[in-house]
Structure 1
Amino acid sequence: MGWLQSLFSPLKKVWFKLHSTQNKRRGIYILYEDVKSCPYEDVQVLWSILVESHSPPLPS
């Protein structure tokens, strides 16, 4: 029975990793839609700061 578990363990890890990545992307999109529809300027400013802080660095 241990060999069966060792066979499915890597597949299970890959399965969970794929689904967790999909959920994270979906969550960010929902958050983006909420921020976009929010009338408060403070929220818009905070979102822009967050987006700018996570952008990839420019090549030098």
Structure 2
Amino acid sequence: MGWLQSLFSPLKKLWIRLHSAHKKKRGIYILYEDVKSCPYEDVHVLWSILMESHAPQLQLKQ
């Protein structure tokens, strides 16, 4: 049965890698296409506020 495990081990690693990469793309940005296609201006304004609040803030050295 060792040969069977050696056959499926690379496939299992590939499967895990593909699905973990898919999970990294999730989050707030999965809503981007829905927001972009929405005809209401209020939704776009709220989206821009949300994106500004999640933008990395620059730290200035004084």
Letter in 2 for 1:51: M
Q: How many residue pairs were aligned?
A: 44
Higher helix share: 1
Higher mean displacement: 38-47 or 23-32: 23-32
Q: SS at the partner of 1:56?
A: coil
Provide TM-score, normalisation by structure 1.
Answer: 0.54
Return the offset for 1:41: 0.4
Q: In the TM superposition, what are the counterparts of 1:21-40 in structure 2 within 5 Å? A: 22-23=22-23, 25-40=25-40
Aligned partners of 1:21, 1:52: CA distance in 2, in Å?
25
Q: In the TM superposition, what are the counterparts of 1:1-60 in structure 2 within 5 Å? A: 19=19, 22-23=22-23, 25-60=25-60
Question: Residue 24 and residue 50 in structure 1: after superposition, are their counterparts in 2 closer, same or farther (change >3 A)?
Answer: farther
Return the offset for 1:57: 0.7
Q: SS at the partner of 1:39?
A: coil
Percent identity between matched residues is: 74
- Structure 2 gaps, min length 5: 1-15
Larger radius of gyration: 2
